[in-house]
């Protein structure tokens, strides 16, 4: 079975607040996008990689990651994923969708996700147990002191990461009816009745969203000197 990887990297990085779109921000002399693509290549699971970037940064991206396909994304993440799916074509039985914003994912996570799909699951996502106590609040109240409605049972919850792996057929079905509400590809799959399974994720698969996350990612790289263990 052959595997294609789509890397959505077309977001603007509003919450990060840097001058450049997030995927083009520097980590260790290399951009987040370069470190992410190096991790995918090092994992040795990809027969083809398609990176999806803002339209005005296509040429820049082609210079940064010359060995992969680069196409333009859309206004929403799911549109960018569909642009990646179109560019990937129909030659791949397994398709992984992996956020550029998670550049430090270890090879073992890629392997677990691919192995899960190869084992017969149509959709496989990496996830971690939740460490914090989780409380449901009444969002209609004051944002300075929200009233607690309930404490949620965290034992049955998982924080979901990427890469998310699918049979090509499942991912196409998931994206055929996107009304824009799901926050990940597996969410789209669930909504059309596709079984989604969770395999163990990894703390290094965290998403760079805020300046704090960027600092952690830079520190990890500076300390280990090597990523994707």
Contact 161, 201 (CB under 8 A): yes
Query: If binding is defined by CB under 6 A, does position 101 make contact with ligand CTP?
Result: yes
Q: How far is the CB of 186 from Mg ion (least distance, A)?
A: 17
Give CA–CA dist 151/185, Å, rounded.
27
The token duo for 202 is 């990894």
Task: Provide the b/e sequence for 169-203 (b: ≥16 CB within 10 Å).
Answer: ebbebbbeebeeebebbbbbbeeeebebbbbebbe
Q: How far is the CB of 11 from Mg ion (least distance, A)?
A: 5
Smallest gap from Cβ 178 to ligand CTP, in A, equals 13
Instruction: Check residue 173 for interaction with ligand CTP (CB under 6 A).
Output: no
Name the one range near Mg ion by CB under 5 A: 5-13, 85-93, 150-158, 169-177: 5-13
137 DSSP β-pair partners: 148
Residue count of the chain, please give it.
229
Q: Name which of ligand CTP, Mg ion, none residue 227 binds, using a CB cut-off of 5 to 8 Å depending on partner kind.
A: none
Segment interacting with ligand CTP, rule: CB under 6 A, options 41-49, 74-82, 87-95, 134-142:
74-82
Is residue 13 a contact residue for ligand CTP (CB under 6 A)? yes
Q: Mark residues 192-211: x for contact with ligand CTP by CB under 6 A, - for none.
A: ---------------x-x--
Cis peptide before 163 (omega within 30 of 0): yes
Q: Which of 3, 4, 6, 22 binds ligand CTP (CB under 6 A)?
A: 22
Size of the site for Mg ion (CB under 5 A): 1
Is 52 a binder of ligand CTP (CB under 6 A)? yes
Residue closer to ligand CTP, measured from CB, 75 or 156: 75
Contact 46, 40 (CB under 8 A): yes
Strand intervals (E) in the chain: 3-8, 48-53, 69-72, 94-97, 123-129, 134-137, 148-152, 158-160, 164-167, 196-200
- The two beta strands, 158-160 and 196-200, are unpaired
Here the tokens at position 95 are 């398709």
Query: Least distance (Å) from Mg ion to the CB of residue 71?
Result: 18
Strand-pair partners of 164: 97
Contact letters for Mg ion, residues 11-40 (x by CB under 5 A): x-----------------------------
Q: By CB under 6 A, name the one of 6, 23, 113, 123 that touches ligand CTP.
A: 23
What residue ranges bind ligand CTP (CB under 6 A)?
8-15, 22-23, 52, 73-77, 80, 99-101, 207, 209
What residue ranges bind Mg ion (CB under 5 A)?
11
């Amino acid at each position: 079975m052959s595997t294609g990887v789509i890397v959505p990297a077309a977001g603007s990085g509003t919450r990060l607040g840097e001058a450049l779109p997030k995927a083009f921000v520097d980590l260790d002399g290399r951009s987040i996008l370069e470190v992410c693509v190096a991790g995918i290549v090092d994992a040795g699971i990809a027969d083809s990689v398609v990176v999806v970037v803002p339209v005005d940064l296509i040429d820049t991206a082609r210079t940064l990651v010359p060995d992969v396909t680069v196409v333009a994304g859309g206004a929403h993440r799911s549109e960018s994923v569909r642009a990646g799916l179109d560019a990937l074509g129909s030659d791949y039985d397994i398709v992984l969708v992996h956020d550029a914003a998670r550049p430090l994912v270890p090879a073992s996570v890629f392997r677990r996700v691919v192995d899960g799909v190869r084992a017969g699951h149509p959709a496989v996502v990496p996830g971690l147990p939740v460490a914090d106590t989780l409380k449901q609040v009444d969002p209609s109240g004051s944002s300075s002191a929200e009233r607690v409605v309930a404490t949620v049972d965290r034992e049955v919850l998982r924080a979901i990461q990427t890469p998310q792996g699918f049979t090509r057929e499942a991912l196409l079905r998931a994206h055929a009816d996107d009304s824009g509400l799901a926050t990940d590809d597996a969410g789209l799959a669930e909504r059309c009745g596709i079984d989604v399974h969770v395999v163990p994720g990894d703390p290094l698969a965290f998403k760079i969203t805020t300046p704090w996350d960027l600092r952690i990612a830079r520190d990890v790289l500076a300390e280990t000197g090597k990523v994707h263990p």
